[in-house]
Structure 1
Amino acid sequence: MVPGSNPWAYAYAGHQFGSFAGQLGDGRAISLGEVVNTRGRRWELQLKGAGMTPYSRFADGYAVLRSSIREFLCSEAMFHLGIPTTRALALIGSSRIVQREQDESGAIVCRLAPSWIRLGNFELFYATGDSENLQKLADYAITMHFPEIQPPDGSVDGPQTGKYTQLLERVVAKTAEMIAHWQAYGVMNTDNFSILGLTIDYGPFQFLDGYDPDYVCNKSDFTGMYAFSEQPEVGLRNMVKFATAISPLIIQECGGDREKASGELRPALNQYSSILSDRYGRLMAKKIGLATYKETDLQDVIYPLLTIIAKEAVDYTLFFRSLSQFSIASTDALYPTEACSRTGPTEPRLIIAQAKPSLGAALQPWLEIYRKRLLEDISGPDESCPLVTASREAERRKQMDSINPRYILRNHLAQTVIEAAEVGNYAEVNELLNVLSRPFEDGSIQEQERWGGAVPDWAAGVKCSCSS
């Protein structure tokens, strides 16, 4: 026990691959306590891999170095990308030998979050019929993490639904926001969700390499339930399970009127898809350099582009990073305002197009759509014939480079630093962490070549398991 700590572990239930598991729980994660920093932010500190907990079942509660490095690096990479996530405070190598598929070095990650409460904590109490602790947990979550929630006071401007319905609304909204970020950045991580909409746990996570909506990164997922394109639906299913878990509280708050409770549950759940679509659309609009967003952009511009890069199996991250080099104007001249010319080169100056010649031809029709949308974006309502200046082009490129990363944590990069760490060289872990902490900066030529390039042939299609 760490001096001064009062450790605890979480018990939770949940659905894995569609089947209900009545007792999951933190088998190798132990919370040490909470701290409040100088800005008043509350953090719950947790050790992962420190040994058995009451929920370890037949496992040893330890973690191996390779999975600990992946969690440490990816949680920090996600944070610096602006994706809602838990954080990693420290990674500590251990002299302990841990038996998995083979003998491996052990390690401990100290990770932190405002809370580690999951949807499954509520599902556990619902499944066991423990209404008293279900209500205590919900009240605790509201008090500590959603203090803005207030019961209806009868006023026109006040809350119109009960506090437990409001809790559902906020969890749904935060989850939709998180999934939108996953989809926009090509992140695969579908675990037992946090009630705070934070990416939690980094087992079989992955960033997409070649864009494939149906790609499955978890080698244990034989049915493709958690494929990249399935993540929005998985999020909705989890929200339905959470709504079911707290439904007794909502029914109670509605005076036992199930019909009234159902009338509150449906709108709360229905907002998931609209929030997800709106947030995803806005993120993708920024990725292609639009300062404004229209709902039609998804169908007219973004989805057609994704269809093309899926067919061409284009590297998702490299493509969007290089798209900023597309030029609206012909050569470096301005469009003459008198003629309002729309002519100009349509071949994108894309690094990725040079690597895949077929992409250039496939993109031609889309590029004209894209060009017109960019011109509309520049013109606004009062400028029918926009002047495409070098400064406007530079501004768009700067915006695109601020949301499309140069560096992400690819599987082969993680494997490279893991292999170095396993022989005692942690310098490469720190070097990669340094690059991932500034993902939108080009960095040096050496950094670009080592950490920002395409996936080598040997690493294509590498998949992970929950212990990876």
Structure 2
Amino acid sequence: MAAALRSSRYLGLLQRGPASRSCSGAAMAAAAEPPLPSAPAGPGWLGSLRFDNRALRALPLDPCGENVPRPVPDACFSRTRPSPVANPRLVAMSLPALALLGLEPPPLRAPREEEQLEAEVALYFSGNRPLPGAEPAAHCYCGHQFGSFAGQLGDGAAVYLGEVLNPSGERWEIQLKGAGLTPFSRQADGRKVLRSSIREFLCSEAMFHLGIPTTRAGTCVTSDSEVIRDIFYDGNPKKERCTIVLRIAPTFIRFGSFEIFKPVDEYTGRKGPSVNRNDIRIQMLNYVIGTFYPEIQEAHSGNSVPRNAAFFREVTRRTARMVAEWQCVGFCHGVLNTDNMSIVGLTIDYGPFGFMDRYDPEHICNGSDNSGRYAYNKQPEICKWNLGKLAEALVPELPLEISELILEEEYDVEFEKHYLQKMRKKLGLIQLELEDDDKLVSELLETMRLTGGDFTNTFRFLSLFLVDPDPLKLEDFLEKFAKQCASLEELKVAFRPQMDPRQLSMMLMLAQSNPQLLALIGTKANINKELDRIEQFSKLQQLTAADLLSRNKGHWKEWLQKYRARLEKEIGSVSDAEVWNAERVKIMNSNNPKYILRNYIAQNAIEAAENGDFTEVRKVLKLLEKPYELKESFDVQEELEEEEAVAGAAACSSVSRIRLPYSSKPPLWASELCVT
């Protein structure tokens, strides 16, 4: 029963297997693919898209035309084609994202015209019909996955359609993710399913509207075609609908794109498919810098090492700022492999991501990350590690001693500067920049950890805090503020032991007698974490809800006194405290989102969509387009709660679940969600 419940709320993604086949031995598999339907006379609304596919002109193409999984040497792209699906239909589309392509929002239409428009969008952005000017291809790249070099990876489930020039002259690459088999699909089928596609579609747009650098998502199209997925890898596969997401970005080139030249890795024995092709590395650098960093190209034309150093410095800074933004909204990427790092500093490839609910610095959003390599608090150092791998991939065009010096000089400084600037805004520290501000932030996060504070709602709620020494007002604030902390039931679920006692006992003995064997089945860190979980769970069993509330209020009272003292310094530097406070609240509420894509909100939308109802996906999309939603009054929390309820922001799609505002802490059942 428990497994079935877990399965119904699973948010996972399929992992791909190793590369297979060669060009010469794949003709039979290629012949098995269904042909694309012939193109119509031309699209309607989408007919204005103007393609100029510079990447395919500037970078080497694979001469082998067989669209089957195989090694692809000495090339950056392989020609491919989307595989058609049965009865494609639109789940949702983001008009702000499509506007990047020059697609103006269509005028208000009659229902029949609306249906025709959606049918056109579904037909072309499912890959069933080719767009005039599109040149479908798949990009070759490699990557370090969970710290180990994996060799050739590539676009195994994404198809480059081309680059669209909008009326302003901006260039946007568009992709169909989940459009079927490519030369890089390895042992998989190149398909994505409804649950993973809805998550990527919604999160791409949510991140943009939060102000975080990201790729975009224009449409989500599902179908009646089905694939088999063993969701938990437990021998219980089921059929799921093939679904395709239109992804939009200046480029989808990533760190791993430069790793195709890597010689044999000393640990894994794998190598890139284009070893010893430094001429292609030079082509890639010329293309990437000239197209996406033109100011660097102009400043250093004809002098490659200084130019490449300036390029690496800018990538380093952009990456540091991006991950600082993640940390400030509690976003966890989940799979920070080098092949999931954008060369232009964007959040890319939304898989087992998650926005943190209860603050836990060691939060792991990916159920497959057993070692915690990509935990929330490790994201900054992992992104720096990935930059180190990019530096290695640029040799000899950028000597390693130069790139390593840049990385050490730039990354930590840029991250810490941007992180603290953002945190000051989140706390309303808008007048002064004091040396102890970083300590105040650290103490806030520690208080959130001790009390199980909801990351998003804690920051949002702080805008209601009044700089008033009246103890009654402070007590009233604490009473409401404590509701954003984890309940006793939530904490018991969070700290519930995960290992069988006999398994833990065996691992403890192995840690003493045979640490080498232990390393094969677990880690000492995992054992220590489980022991801590057992200790915390035991303490919770002896705690009452009243005890927990009293303890939490004590922790917050101590920190709020420090926060008030810091705000009083702000007041002392201004002439009008009321004007300052209004501006403080405004800045806080434009930097602390009220709405994020919590896992349970996404899951409710997924379950409704799997039952044929796309209205919840579309409603959540609209909500996430205005995540900060400023209000006129910040004095009384009940007003906010009443407004949320009246707005009808019901986060639950099932009548068996309590209807909650979208800004609420997650319900208890959300703790059962597993993303992998």
Q: Mapping of 1:338-353 within 5 angstroms? A: 346-347=474-475, 349=477, 351-353=480-482
Q: CA deviation at 1:447?
A: 1.9
- Of the three residues 388, 394, 404, the one matched with 2:577 is 388
> What is the rounded CA distance, in whole Å, between the counterparts of 2:389 and 2:341 in structure 1?
11
Provide, for residues 123-171 of structure 1, a one-character-per-residue CA deviation record: whole Å limited to 9, x for no partner. Answer: 11244232111111111000100001147779xxxx9961111111011
Work out which of the residue numbers 444, 453, 475 in structure 2 matches 1:314.
Answer: 453
Give the SS at the match of 1:218.
coil
Offset of residue 463 of structure 1: 2.9
1:451 aligns with 2:451: no
Note if contact 2:254-2:341 (Cα within 8 Å) is conserved in structure 1: yes
Instruction: Give the SS at the match of 1:460.
Output: helix
SS at match of 2:294: coil
The answer to whether the 8 A contact 2:326-2:332 is kept is yes
State how far apart, in whole Å, the 2-side matches of 1:264 and 1:245 are: 11
Length-normalised TM-score, structure 1: 0.88
Equivalent runs, 1:418-433 vs 2, <5 Å: 418-433=606-621
Q: Is the 8 A contact 2:227 2:240 kept in 1?
A: yes
Select 2:371's aligned residue among 223, 229, 232: 223
- The separation in 1 between residues aligned to 2:440 and 2:304, in whole angstroms, is 38
Cα distance between partner residues in 2 of 1:10 and 1:162: 28
* Pairing of 1:33-432 with structure 2 (within 5 A): 33-101=162-230, 102-127=238-263, 128-150=275-297, 162-189=306-333, 190-191=335-336, 192-251=340-399, 262-263=401-402, 265-292=404-431, 294=433, 296-330=435-469, 346-347=474-475, 349=477, 351-354=480-483, 356=485, 357=549, 358-380=551-573, 388-389=577-578, 391-432=579-620
Q: What is the percent sequence identity of the aligned residues? A: 42
Is contact 1:209–1:455 with CA below 8 Å preserved after alignment? yes
State which drifts further: 126-135 or 66-75: 126-135
Say whether the 8 Å CA contact 1:287–1:403 is kept in structure 2: yes
Q: How far apart, CA to CA, are the structure 1 residues paired with 2:598 and 2:571?
A: 35
Separation in structure 1 between the aligned mates of residue 241 and residue 462 of structure 2, nearest angstrom: 42
- The reply to whether residue 21 of structure 1 matches residue 168 of structure 2 is no
Match of 2:536 in 1: none
Contact 2:457 2:484 in 1 (8 A): no
Deviation at 1:268, TM superposition (A): 4.1
- Contact 2:219 2:246 survives alignment (8 Å): yes
CA RMSD of aligned residues (A): 2.3
The residue that corresponds to 1:336 in the other structure is none
Contact 1:326/1:348 (CA < 8 Å) preserved in 2? Answer: no
Rate the CA distance shift 1:297–1:247 in 2: closer, same or farther, 3 A.
farther
Q: Distance in 2 between matches of 1:137 and 1:453?
A: 47
Which amino acid counterpart does residue 450 of structure 1 have in structure 2? P
> Structure 1 runs of 4+ off > 6 angstroms?
151-154
In structure 1, C-alpha distance between the alignment counterparts of 2:459 and 2:363, rounded to whole Å: 19
Task: Compare CA radii of gyration and give the structure with the larger one.
Answer: 2
Name whichever of 35-44 and 411-420 sits farther off: 35-44
Distance 1:13 1:298, change over 3 A: farther
2:675 to 460, 464, 467: 464
Answer yes or no: is the 8 Å Cα contact 1:282–1:293 preserved in 2. no
In structure 2, the gaps of 5 or more residues are 1-80, 82-129, 231-237, 264-274, 486-548, 632-642, 651-659
Indicate the SS of the match to 2:464.
Answer: coil
Cα offsets for 1:271-318 (capped at 9, x unmatched): 001000000111111111111463634532100100110111111011
Distance 2:214 2:464 in 1: 30
Inter-partner Cα distance in structure 2 for 1:347 and 1:41: 54
TM superposition shift of 1:94: 1.1
Quote how far apart the aligned CAs of 1:345 are.
5.1
How far the C-alpha of 1:264 sits from its partner, in A, is: 5.4
Task: Specify the code of the residue in structure 1 equivalent to 2:428.
Answer: G
Aligned length: 437
Q: Distance in 1 between matches of 2:208 and 2:355?
A: 14
Residues 330-377 of structure 1: per-residue CA shift (max 9 Å, x gap):
56xxxxxxxxxxx99544726432454343210222212211211222
Deviation, 1:98, is 1.3
TM-score by length of 2: 0.62
Taking the aligned partners of 1:96 and 1:153, their CA distance within structure 2 comes to 51
Superposition deviation, residue 265 in structure 1 = 3.7
Instruction: Give secondary structure in 1 for the equivalent of 2:312.
Output: helix
Structure 1 residues 413, 133: CA separation in 2 closer, same or farther (over 3 Å shift)? same
Corresponding letter in the other structure for 2:293: F
CA contact (8 A) 1:151 1:162 kept: no
